[in-house]
Amino acid sequence: MLKLGLNIDHIATVREARYRGLGHGEPDPVAGAIVCEAAGAHGITAHLREDRRHIQDRDVWKLRDVVRTRLNLEMANVPEIVAIALKLKPGIVCVVPERRQEVTTEGGLEVAGNLAAITDLCRTMNDGGVQVSLFITPDPPQIEAAARAGSQFIELHTGAYAEAFPDETLRAEQLDRLIAAARQAHALGLGVNAGHGLNYENLRALHQVPHLVELNIGHSIISRALTVGLAQAVTEMLALMENYRG
């Protein structure tokens, strides 16, 4: 069964647009997480950024108390956030690159060029009882480096696929990249997740990619929820994920 990890960052983005710095406000991402789980989401993802532009520290601690599936903490490899993750002990962390000027995470983590640092992080997290996923582009050197670093999972960056989707030829090229990457990662013993830019239009074609464990999706579901409600938006996405054969 293909699992849905639901990213609730954009609920917090709406809250922070009005209530930034006040320590309260609406909509509440924690309440949203509860709704998503009740609707069938298999996990909740939240990105505690260094600049705290959306998810706040209080959110991740509340999420740790209420999430009954699995909490996935997206994070950069920086000492402050690493220390929080070790205390929080989510089910898994997904290590992502982070730049202050970006709107959202734009690219994959450079694992091959920072192997020693990423290996140390994986060891630290694993010793603390936390699994590690690395958010990477579907490129062979990065996948090989992720396996060498000691991560348990990779999350394939599907942004290029999502951008190419309207063009049938480009879509096929990007699907081939993802298929090859998933096969390579699986052969190296890595669990394979995927995410970024996935939506109600482009998800079904992703069924061609083998060995997928979980898809991490946020923006599209939160956007759809403005029209049909959060529970219904989750239900509709789960329906598109049915019958995945891996």
pTM of the model: 0.94
pLDDT of residue 99: 61
Q: What is the pLDDT of residues 88-102, one digit of tens each?
A: 999 999 999 976 554
Of 132, 134, 246, nearest to 182 by C-alpha is 246
Say which of 10, 47, 54, 157 is annotated catalytic: 47
pLDDT of residue 211: 98
Distance from C-alpha of 96 to C-alpha of 76, rounded to nearest angstrom: 5
pLDDT of residue 100: 56
Q: What is the pLDDT of residues 1-57, one digit of tens each?
A: 999 999 999 999 999 999 998 989 999 999 999 999 999 999 999 999 999 999 999
pLDDT of residue 21: 85
Q: What percent of the chain has pLDDT over 90?
A: 94
Say which of 37, 74, 98, 214 is annotated catalytic: 74
Distance from C-alpha of 15 to C-alpha of 148, rounded to nearest angstrom: 40
Cα angle for residues 51, 131, 146 (degrees, 5° grid): 85
Say which of 37, 157, 196, 214 is annotated catalytic: 196
**pLDDT tens, per residue, the chain with 246 residues:** 999 999 999 999 999 999 998 989 999 999 999 999 999 999 999 999 999 999 999 999 999 999 999 999 999 999 999 999 999 999 999 999 976 554 455 668 999 999 999 999 999 999 999 999 999 999 999 999 999 999 999 999 999 999 999 999 999 999 999 999 999 999 999 999 999 999 999 999 999 999 999 999 999 999 999 999 999 999 999 999 999 998
> Contact at 8 Å (CB) between 137 and 107?
yes
Which domains are seen in the chain, by residue range? 3-241 (3.20.20.70)
Cα four-point dihedral sign 127, 129, 131, 132: negative
Residue type, 84: I
Reply yes or no on whether 42 is catalytic. no
